[in-house]
Amino acid sequence: MRNGPNDPPPFDYRPPLDPWLTVLHHDEDILVLDKPSGLLCVAGKPASHGDCLEARAKERFPQSLLVHRIDRETSGIVVMAMNKHAQRHLGLQFEKRKISKTYVARVWGQVEGESGRIDLPLITDAANRPRQKVDFENGRMAITEWEVAGREKSATRLTLRPLTGRSHQLRVHMLSIGHPILSDKFYSDGDALNAAPRLQLHAEALQLRHPADGRPCLFRQECPF
């Protein structure tokens, strides 16, 4: 069957099998996982896209519940809830922007300056789903803070802190300042597209309030690239 004009481009889904599931923390309320690059957070529509982080988690923790997602090609920390109360509690923290997220990215070229803030509203690019684009008239507010963590010959390593949680926010914001994330199949091309074996974006840290008692919890997973 041919894809429609607004359908995402087909992809050959080959999720990593080792490790099957990396658990960073679990208790009666929360489950913290390290998602590998290449694994969907939730199952896709085709039957061949049924293997995902959510399904793997439920094999070991049947009561686990989805709270948020990160892109298939992005690696790093994902938190799930272990009961309905925790799911609601965490969901509200995400909604009210009480959860702090830190990412590591390698981007193409030399970023000027040592830190900055990107405030550009985003909207789905209807003609090129699932791509997103900057739209000052109809886009939703999207804010990213960035800081240089290292410099290479043709790339810059950045620490990224999204203050909002829009789809593809970090990827589009980096493109908007002329420095696409390396090996981003949606937003980079040429040398930037072929610069690394996978998307150079990793969810390194996540800070939240524990649903049981509100205590602050910080979870980290070292960047694999």
Q: State the greatest distance between any 2 C-alpha atoms of the chain, in Å, as a whole number.
A: 51
Residue 56: helix, strand or coil by DSSP?
helix
Six token digits for residue 91: 């969901």
Among candidates 29, 79, 86, which has minimal Cα distance to 53?
79
- Within the chain, strands assigned E span 23-26, 30-35, 75-81, 100-108, 115-119, 122-124, 132-134, 143-151, 155-162, 201-209, 216-220
Q: Which of 12, 18, 71, 189 is catalytic?
A: 71
For the question of residue 71 being annotated catalytic, the response is yes
CB 80 within 8 A of CB 30: yes
Of 24, 28, 36, which Cα lies nearest the Cα of 198?
36
Residues with Cβ < 8 Å from 15, sequence gap 6 or more? 38, 39, 40, 51, 52
At position 94, the amino acid (one-letter code) is F
Q: Report d(CA 179, CA 167) in Å as an integer.
A: 18
- Residue type at 97? R
Active-site residues, by number, are 71
